[in-house]
Structure 1
Amino acid sequence: MSLGWYLKRLRAMSPAELAHRVGEKLGKVVARNRLEGWARYPGAEVKPLPGLCQRVLAAATAGDREQVRQAAEGVLAGRFEALGVDWPPRQPDDLFPPEFWRLDPVTGGLWPGAERYCFDIPYRHERALGDVKYVWEANRLQFLQPLAAHALLANDGRSLAAIEAAIASWHAANPPFRGLGWNSGIELALRAISLLVVVTLVGDRLSAACRTQVGSILHASAVWLRRYPSRFSSANNHRVAELAGEFLIGLAMPGLPFARTMATRARRELGDETARQILADGVPAEQSPTYGAFTAEFVLLCASVARSGGEPFPALVGERLDAFARFIGWIQLDDGTVPAIGDDDDGRVLTLGEVEPAYPGSVANAISVYAGQGAPTAVAPDFRGLLLGRSVTRARAPQGQRLFASGGYSVVNRQVAGRRIGLVFDHAPLGYLSIAAHGHADALSITLAVDGQPVLVDPGTYLYHSGGAWRDWFRGTAAHNTLAVAGADQSIIAGAFNWSHKARARLVHEERGEPWSLTASHDGYRRRFGVLHQRSLVGTDTGFSIIDRLLGAAEGRDAEIGFQLAPGLVATRAGREVAVRRGDETVLTLAFEPGDVRIERGGEGGRGGRISPRFGVLLQADRIVWSGRVDGVGRTVAVRLAAVADRTPVRRRLEAAGG
């Protein structure tokens, strides 16, 4: 690991965190010399989690059964896909060879296995073997979930045999605290939840040997989770996952000597973390709707199990979950997707392994069942809803203007020029805790949907450890629909999950009348360029105007204002106007003041004209950029929505208007 990484990471730590890290490091060094074989972790009885199996049997429709069957058949055929990559196919008679748990599907390299102590594997900066996330994904054992569901619903013996083979193979290849499967708490927790789903659905059909192996894995996992908790600057969604793992293992394995105290403490801390990581207005503290859904799904699973067991979580947990669902209801599009604000690594808790573009909407739907309210969105049947419940009663789509003051977003959902717009204005903090690990430098950016479909979008995430220049681009300011001074980011990147300087944004003014308006500012350029960026959005009869000002420098500064389009949209420039088309229809035009206007598409080496609709996937998409001088008077971009019936060819219409 590089010395530079350590120095940047140390700067983000408080004295208390430094003391904690030193103690943790010493503990890991001591543990390296222990004999940590399976004999230390006998497989106590594992009981089903209450409520889940009964709900699956009662609620499964013919469509659910077919969806589960198809997912299980894919696993049985030796197929595995995650993070935008297909693993090499395996033979049905040898689905889980030992090297499967160490294989990187991109490079073909094999990571260290049982011969290496987990904390001696330098995964953060390893590149020759590939990105550690791919190997972790297989080790989550989430492909066991569709197998267990199919075995339950169809009494499928092949699925049961595959479950036993996978567990036996993993158990043999990954003794406690050896290999890559043991060096991150969130990975242990997700694997534990997958095993608990298996036990809950079909545990009584597994062999005694398999049940013992499951018990041993969960026992060792509980010891690890208690021994190495994510604390201080690392206590984000990882901490929620770890606590969920501890709580659920404690409930399922009451025979463990520490089970009761572990479950009681985890339950209490889960409530505390829910209050910290889901703000009072429902915005996730990590500033990512998808990571917020990930956090909410962990909490919802635990809360649902606790309620089914007769010991419901405190009311505050339900209130924060409900607030999150309502936030998602305000920002989602017609297909249930939401703007790709902040990081998203496709993490799921309950899953069949399929691609879920509307993941936050699915979690929000399940929350509505827990809360006993109409869902903020209607979603397609999914495994999560089958286990936790799903609502078919959709709440009325919110319209108007809503400020999420705690989280830092303003949302405008209204009719303009005969069209529906959904506008999200970001004046939020960079991210959560001192390193803001999953935040992007996107202060004062906007996203825009027209008639329920995306037009101006956040470009997404793409990759983490192996992202290189693309990781910096997708986190950086220029990739977002905001202003960048001299090509610099508002906040300064200090590593793939760290920042050395964080822009502070705030809402200055809002007006809900006619015309509506919003004004916000951030100080990210004050120290380096002596200016404060202020952005105003003002409603007009045909759309809205964007006014960007750089306050504090009379001569102004060179800047760029960018707008990233969704895939499938085409930008056409005529003079200083750019028309945006979806197929044959013009959706809107952007009218700029004097300066250079260009359209980028398919940039390379960490440049624009690219979006990442899901982790590991990179697509070309038009990006519109204005560049010029910006001062305190400001520059205005007029966003004009095209009339619904206007299908006149773009260039001819612009020429007729004198463009």
Structure 2
Amino acid sequence: MPIHASRPLLLADAAWRLGARPVTLLLLHRMRVALGRPQRALPDGRPAVAPFLPESALPPPAVDGTAVLHAVAALPPPTHGRFDPAAHALALDLFAPGDVRPVWEANRLAEIPLLAMAQRLDPGGGHGAQAEARLGAWCASNPPFRGPNWACGQEAALRALHLGLGHALAGGGAVPAGLRALLRAHARRIAATRAYAAAQDNNHAISEPAGAFACALLLGEDPAPHAAALAAAVARLVEPAGGFAPVSTGYHRLLLDVLAVAEWLRRFHGAPPFPAPLPARAAAATRWLLRLHDPATGALPRLGHADGSRFADLSLGGAADARGSLERAARLFLGASAEHRGDPGCAWLDLPVPGAVAAGEARWCAAGSRGWARDGARAVLRTGPLRFRPGQSDLLHLDLWDGAVNLLRDGGTLSYNPAPAQRAAAAALEDAGGHDAVVFDDREPMPRAGRFLRARWPATGLLPEGAWSRDRRGNRHARSLSGEGRCWIVTDTLSGPFRSAALRWRLPPAEWRSTGSGVASALGRVSVAADAPVELSLALGQEAPRYGELREVPVLCARVARPATRLVTTIELP
């Protein structure tokens, strides 16, 4: 990915904006690595061996188990990708061989809870033996602490949570020796790089104490320190209105899934309630994602990083369907239903169907976002404040949904470590031009200081029905929403020393035709007017509908030059 201007200056700027805490924690981590402390804390060890899971005699819940049996019949083999499985995990180059994210996803042991469920559905089908065999093979091919699958503390934490869930779904009770050995290794891996996790101010800081909590529960140790650490991380990263530090629907879903599994394991093992403010913040975070999902399909906007991660997906909805995640979180944290009462994942967890339903809202505001809903459509605006590092240059991006149709959309995330031929496309999707916003003078407002780090964050603020941002050059963009019924009006007010400005609206694939003032299709009509001459064009752009995939989409672009100060977009839905 291209990094602009002088990197040391950009790094200094980004460090100043991040603040002392994460920078100090990262420097502490790097100092510890230079001294070899995490490496010494993770010496070579014997792989764990069976038995791993209890022999289940529990009956299944009253659900259709066809999807579970189908899923466990086609499990892929474990993989190291192109990474060296023999190298010490902390000595690996995690970028040169390719994208490590798919390798990590495939090694989260998400199949273990599913195999425990399958064993209860079909006791004679050998699924328990299959789970034992897969765990044994994984341990043999991933000895502590070698290869890419021990390189990340968060990945160890997610595996530990899946193991805890699998043990409980298989009946719980005494923890077999093999599982105890495997969990001890995971607890050690999580503990080795705690400063790095805390420095990230994202899912790492939530997942890792949650994984340590699960390990303590199953190993018969005191879980209270890990519960306190998890509550402290939630207090820092989830604000009272439910906004999460990384403004990303994908990362937010992972947050809820991790907290939900931790809460369910806490109840299963009879541990004390989590300290405040975790319960209230988890409830607020649940409401935040509920507002954004499409109730008919479970689809979410692709706000921020969208890598398609799935965790504890007992409903088997996959990355594209968050209904199972939301129903589980709503029952655990809101004591209400997300109106997906027949969710099979909740039935497996024996979560009763609440009488109450989580209510929607016509307008809402949280740190980093605000939204509106009316007449079957909903909109979400990416706003400030930028208290934590922004994952993408997406300030004032607007997503508009009409039911299940994502009419105005984000370009998505292609890859965290794309192949050389795709690097330009991947970077473009994460830059300002990959979003539904205004770009001044075709210049990126937040240049890259690193792979996951941006510098020169704009100033931001809220408006009565919108928000504004001002870049380092003094160019100010204010965006407000209005309209009524099925008509939405977006007003973009511009000021500053810019010479030109480009407003882009990324559209879904459809038969779009020019109307002179914009475009129209069966999905709706989009018109743009300005207080100065405006040049409209409809061209093919690109988007990543899923992580790792790229396709062409229509993009409406409206260009103006000084002295233009206002662009007004009218969206008429059918």
Report which stretch shifted further, 378-387 or 292-301: 378-387
Match of 1:101 in 2: 79
Change (3 A) 1:625 1:372: closer
CA apart distance, 1:197 = 2.8
Deviation at residue 219 of structure 1 after TM alignment: 1.0
The equivalent position to 1:234 in structure 2, one of 200, 207, 212, is 200
Q: Which residue of 1 aligns with 2:536?
A: 597
Report the Cα offset of residue 493 of structure 1: 1.9
Where 1:444 maps in the other structure, the secondary structure is coil
Distance 2:38 2:340 in 1: 52
**Per-residue deviation at 1:182?**
1.0
- For residues 328 and 238 of structure 1, the distance between their equivalents in structure 2, rounded to whole angstroms, comes to 19
CA distance change for structure 1 residues 546 and 19 in 2, over 3 Å: closer, same or farther? closer
The alpha carbon displacement at 1:218 in A equals 1.4
Query: Does 2:290 match 1:329?
Result: yes
The aligned residue for residue 85 of structure 1 is none
> Once the 2 structures are TM-superposed, how far is the Cα of residue 565 of structure 1 from its aligned partner?
1.3
Letter in 1 for 2:24: A
Partner of 1:216: 181
Cα contact 2:250–2:306 (8 A) shared by 1: yes
Q: Which has the higher contact order (CA 8 A, sep 6+)?
A: 2
* Cα deviations by residue, 1:356-375 (Å, 9 ceiling, x for unpaired): 25554432211221235332
Residue equivalent to 1:648: none
Code of the aligned partner of 2:236: R
Aligned-residue offset at 1:542? 6.3
Q: 2:122 aligns with which of 140, 154, 160?
A: 154
Give the aligned partner of residue 580 of structure 1: 521
Match of 1:273 in 2: 233
SS of structure 1 residue aligned to 2:451: coil
Counterpart-to-counterpart distance in 2, 1:8 and 1:532: 21
Aligned mates of 1:74, 1:16 — CA distance in 2? 46
Question: Alignment partner for residue 291 of structure 1, among 228, 233, 251?
Answer: 251
Tell me if the contact between 1:307 and 1:313 (Cα under 8 Å) persists in the aligned partners: no
Change (3 A) 1:31 1:413: closer
Answering whether residue 80 of structure 2 is matched by residue 118 of structure 1, we say: no
For 2:494, the equivalent position in structure 1 comes to 550
Partner of 2:329: 367
> Quick one: distance in 2 between partners of 1:361 and 1:353?
9
1:425 aligned onto 2:393: no
CA distance in 1, matches of 2:41, 2:461: 51
Taking the aligned partners of 2:198 and 2:32, their CA distance within structure 1 comes to 13
Alpha-carbon distance change, 316 to 519 in structure 1, aligned in 2, over 3 angstroms: closer
What is the distance in 2 between the residues matched to 1:235 and 1:388?
A: 33
Post-superposition offset of 1:541: 7.0
Match of 1:440 in 2: 392
Pairing of 1:66-145 with structure 2 (within 5 A): 66-75=66-75, 80=76, 96=77, 100-102=78-80, 104=81, 110-114=82-86, 116-124=87-95, 126=96, 129-145=97-113
Amino acid at match of 1:227: A
- Kept in 1, the 8 Å contact 2:161–2:261? The answer is no
Give SS of 1:459's match: coil
Give the Cα–Cα distance (whole angstroms) in 1 for the partners of residues 350 and 31 of structure 2.
39
> Is the 8 Å Cα contact of residues 456 and 565 (structure 1) preserved in structure 2?
yes
SS in 2 for 1:494: strand
Q: In the alignment, residue 272 of structure 2 is paired with which amino acid?
A: E
- Assess if the C-alpha contact under 8 Å between 2:308 and 2:319 holds in 1: no
Mark the CA change 1:33 to 1:362 in structure 2 (over 3 Å): closer, same or farther.
closer
Task: Give the conservation status (yes or no) of the 8 Å contact 2:113–2:169.
Answer: no
Corresponding residue for residue 244 of structure 1? 210
Tell me the alpha carbon deviations over residues 201-256 of structure 1, each in whole angstroms, 9 at most, x when there is no partner: 337899x9xx43332221111112112113453242012111111101101012xx
Which protein shows a greater Rg?
Answer: 1
Corresponding residue for residue 638 of structure 1: 570
The residue identity in structure 2 corresponding to 1:455 is: L
CA contact (8 A) 1:44 1:215 kept: no
1:127-526 residue pairs with structure 2 within 5 A? Answer: 129-202=97-170, 211-229=176-194, 230-254=196-220, 259-260=221-222, 263-308=223-268, 309-314=270-275, 316-335=277-296, 336-351=298-313, 354=316, 356-357=318-319, 359-371=321-333, 373-378=335-340, 381-383=343-345, 386-387=348-349, 389=351, 391=353, 395=357, 398-404=360-366, 407-415=367-375, 420-430=376-386, 433=388, 435-436=389-390, 439-466=391-418, 468-508=423-463, 510=464, 518-524=465-471
The aligned residue for residue 89 of structure 1 is none
Question: RMSD value over aligned CA atoms?
Answer: 3.3
Q: Closer, same or farther in 2 for the Cα pair 1:304/1:200, shift >3 Å?
A: closer
Of the three residues 495, 501, 511, the one matched with 1:570 is 511
Give how far 1:385 is off.
5.8
- Residue 613 of structure 1 is matched in structure 2 by 545
Residue 598 of structure 1: CA displacement?
1.5
Q: Percent identity?
A: 23
Q: Note the C-alpha offset of 1:505.
A: 2.1
Q: Aligned-pair distance for 1:338?
A: 2.3
Q: Deviations over 1:301-348 (max 9, x none)?
A: 112222331522235322112212222232222423222111122223
Report deviation, 1:539: 1.9
In the other structure, the counterpart of 1:629 is 561
Partner secondary structure for residue 357 of structure 2? coil
Q: How many residues align?
A: 557
- The aligned counterpart of 1:37 is 45
CA drift at 1:44: 12
- Aligned to 2:244, the other structure's residue is in SS state coil
2-structure distance, mates of 1:589, 1:396: 33
Q: Secondary structure at the match of 1:539?
A: strand
Q: Give 1:384 deviation, angstroms.
A: 5.9
Q: Which residue of 2 aligns with 1:604?
A: none
CA distance in 2, matches of 1:394, 1:611: 39
